[in-house]
Amino acid sequence: MSAIEISNLSFVYSPKTPNEKQALKNINLSVEEGTFLGIVGATGSGKSTLIQHLNGLIKPQDKKRMSVVVNGMSAADRKTLKKLRFEVGMVFQYPEYQLFEDTVAKDVAFGPKNMKLEKDEIDRRVRRALEVVGLDYDKFAIRSPFDLSGGEKRRVAIAGVIAMQPKILVLDEPVAGLDPIGRKEILALVKKLQKEVSPTVIIVSHNMDDMAELADRIVALKDGEIIADGTPKRVFCNRRLIKEAGLDLPTATSLTDMLISRGVKLPNDIVTMAELARELGAALRRKLSVSASEEYEDREDFKEYDGGCGSEYDDRYEAGGCEYGEASDEGEERWDGEDENV
């Protein structure tokens, strides 16, 4: 079952004024439950507008033609709006700037209270949420959120969303402004949350290394349009497209390109550092064993590797990208994550 189903979604800010700006153009997107989806795109590419549609903070401008359906609920439907918001937990950028209560426990309880839960259940959820994000309940519950360190504040803010036990968790740049240790901890936390609380996770990020590492599927936006959609390997395969979208390649991918250009034989679909280290290690071992046995042959094994990101792939990919803007019913031709339609 797909958790999110978006069709024909477009959005224009300040329509019919001199400041008119098209933020989204004909977005079609369906996300399976259990997916870890990364949304990437340069600043102003429509990422925030897109995610705010998921819980009805922004409503589709044309209800007849466009639709956003989350867990069977239309985001345009006023009756289910509240329920929708509790099912889609949204952690905005710098969420610590939205803390407001005088104690951590009260702040985390804000969501569950709005859900009109029983007091016992609220307490249980607050306790659980704090523990999941790694804050000791007894130590933190009665402290003022304003006295905490930056990293702790962010955890409290995330706990405030987790306490609603959302089925889908959306995070906008969750590690922005944190130091390296803080980044690692929060990313590990997000993974843990997917396992324990919200099976579907959507992250908006500029950090391609993180995305390559964590996401099952990446959607790349440019000027409000989806220009690439698939596994990290597939999305980062099309270097030109990623560059045109104003994005970086993962460090591992650009290093791979650099090494290939210097004559090192590597598959060109490497996206994580671990993978690059593994491939280089394997290449070294092969080389050593080859030179040991003096056995030179055409490296058949490399053609196999190329399969991930060969030239034919690129062509298909670009074609898909180009058709995008014009055709409205290219749903079949479109390129989706590997784990779709299975």
Partner 1 sequence: MFKDVAFGQYYPVNSPVHRLDARVKLLLTILFVVSIFFIRTYFGFMLTAAVLLVTILLARLPILSVLKSVRGILLIVAITAIINLFFIKEGEVLVQSGAIVITKTGVHTTIKMVLRLVLLISGASLLSLTTTPVQLADGLESLMAPLKLVRVPVRDIAMIMSIALRFIPTLFEETNKIIAAQKARGASFDTGGLLSRVKAMLPVLIPLFVNSFRRADELAFAMDARCYNATDKRTKMKKAKLGFGDLAAVLFIAGYFTVILLERYYFPTVGINIDVAIFGGLL
Partner 2 sequence: MSDFQIEIKGVSYSYPVREGYNVKAVKNLSLNIRKGEFVALTGMNGSGKSTLAKLLNGLFQPKEGEILIDGISTADESNMFEIRKKVGMVFQNPDNQTVATIIEDDIAFGPENIGVEREEIIRRVDEALEAVGMSEYRTRTTSKLSGGQKQRIAIAGVLAMKPDIIILDESTAMLDPNGRKEIMEVACRLNKSGITVVNITHNMEEAALADRIVVLRKGRIAIDGTPKEVFASGLIEACGLTLPPITELSRALAEEGFVFDGVVISDEELAEGICRLLK
Q: Which residues bind partner 1 (CB under 8 A)?
A: 14, 17-18, 52, 55, 57, 82, 85-86, 88-90, 92, 95, 97-100, 110-111, 114-115, 146, 160-161, 164
- The DSSP call for residue 59 is -
**Is residue 299 part of the contact set for partner 2 (CB under 8 A)?**
no
**Residues of this chain, 199-218, that bind partner 2 according to CB under 8 A:** 206-207, 209
Q: How far is the CB of 240 from partner 2 (least distance, A)?
A: 17
CB of 69 to partner 1, least distance (A): 18
Residue 260 in the binding site for partner 2 (CB under 8 A): no
Q: Is 180 in the site for partner 2 (CB under 8 A)?
A: yes
Within 85-104, the residues that bind partner 2 by CB under 8 A are none
| Least distance in angstroms from the C-beta of 288 to partner 2 | 8
Q: Does 43 bind partner 2 (CB under 8 A)?
A: yes
Q: If contact means CB under 5 to 8 A according to the sort of partner, which of partner 2, partner 1, none does residue 90 touch?
A: partner 1
Among 281, 307, 325, 331, binds partner 2 (CB under 8 A): 281
- Work out whether 14 is an interface residue with partner 2 (CB under 8 A): no
Is 18 a binding residue for partner 2 by CB under 8 A? The answer is no
List residues binding partner 2 (CB under 8 A). Answer: 42-44, 147, 149-151, 176-182, 184, 206-207, 209, 246, 248, 251-252, 255, 258-259, 262-265, 273-274, 276-277, 280-281, 283-285, 287-288
